[in-house]
Amino acid sequence: MNANYLFELYESGYRDFAGIHLSGVDLRQRILIDINLQHASLVQANLSRAFLTKANLANTNLYRVNASFAKLSEVNLQRAQLKKADLRGTFMVKSDLSDTQLSGANLSGANLRGASLRGANLCGANLCGANLRGADLRHANLAWANLSGVRLSGAALGRTFLDDVNLEGAYLNGLNLTGMNLSGLNLQEAKLNGAQLDYANLTAANLSFATLREASLNQVNLTGANMTGSILWRAKMLGVNLDRADLSWANLAGAKLDACSIEGTEFTDAILPRGSQADLLNKACGDTRWSHRSTRETLSASQFVE
């Protein structure tokens, strides 16, 4: 079937085009609302700025498709092949992308608010600045993905693979990350206000200048983490491991630091709760790898406040 015949049939009211082969077809700016293209082949098709609201694209081959700035809200994309697709700025609010292949896809600036990406493969995908508020990312593979500046508030992340992802400047406010392995991740300038991070592994993570106001970090492993300039105002940090972490210029006013471990921790110019002063000075031991001074000495260069 050629594109012109498809357009004629669509205009006449026909909607079922399941299984057709239209590789490389030009559908730019076309209005194809509620169309059924499941099991179709649209390899390297151009869907830029097309309107496919409520379309059925389940199991469709969209390898290397250009759907930049297309309207794909409430679309069924279950198990679709979107590997290396161009989805920049695409509007996919409340769409179903569960078990979809999106490895290497460019989703920068895409709007996926409330979308289901459960079990999707986003390995190496570019999600820079994407809106994923309220999205379902359970069991999704985000390994090596670029999530810088992404908005993830309210998203579901149970058993999500986050190996080596870039979360610099990401909006993670209120997110439940309990027990997750976030070791070595780049969370520089990330927003984690009110986030649940209890029992998480943040070993050697970069949390410099991140904001974690009233976040829960009980029993978190922050060994060797870079927390320079981070804001941990009124954070819950009971039993946290801060060994060899860098907290210089960090603000921990009002934080609860009971039973924490601080061997070789850097506190130079940090703001710390006065209620923890005696306990911290009593536990201080070892030299820091950051300023090569003793932890006790860096505590004396910090500020304790009520």
Task: Specify whether 115 is located in the same domain as 171.
Answer: no
Q: Bridge-partner residues for 46, per DSSP?
A: 26, 66
Q: DSSP state, 273?
A: E
Residues 6+ apart with CB under 8 A from 190: 167, 168, 169, 170, 171, 172, 207, 210, 211
186 & 75 share domain: no
Res 1: pLDDT: 80
Does the pTM of the predicted model rise above 0.75? yes
Q: How many domains does the chain have?
A: 2
Using CA atoms, how far residue 234 sits from 13, 212, 252, 253, 266, in Å, is 60, 9, 7, 6, 20
Whether residue 123 sits in one domain with residue 3: yes
Residues 116 and 223 placed together within one structural domain of the fold:
no
pLDDT in the model for residue 26: 96
Residue 215 falls within a domain, yes or no? yes
- 208 and 278 together in one domain: yes
Same domain, 106 and 211: no
Dihedral sign for Cα 141, 144, 145, 147, please.
Answer: positive
Residue 182 and residue 104 share a domain? no
**Residue 193: inside a domain:** yes
Residues 257, 189 within the same domain: yes
Residues 112 and 230 grouped into a single domain: no
Within a domain: residue 148? no
> Within this chain, do residues 113 and 227 fall inside the same structural domain, yes or no?
no
**Regions in the chain scoring below 70 on pLDDT:** none
Q: Distance of alpha carbon 109 from its chain centroid, rounded?
A: 13
Which of 78, 112, 127 lies at the terminal end of a domain, its last residue?
127
Determine the 3-state secondary structure of 9 from DSSP.
helix
Say if residue 285 is in the same domain as residue 173: yes
Residue pLDDT, tens place only, 43-97: 999 999 999 999 999 999 999 999 999 999 999 999 999 999 999 999 999 999 9
Q: Is residue 260 part of a domain?
A: yes
> What is the reported pLDDT for 2?
87
Q: Assign residue 200 the CATH number of its domain.
A: 2.160.20.80
pLDDT of residue 35: 98
Both 111 and 195 in a single domain? Answer: no
In a domain, 144, yes or no: no
Domain that includes residue 249, residue range: 167-291+300-305
Q: Is residue 147 part of a domain?
A: no
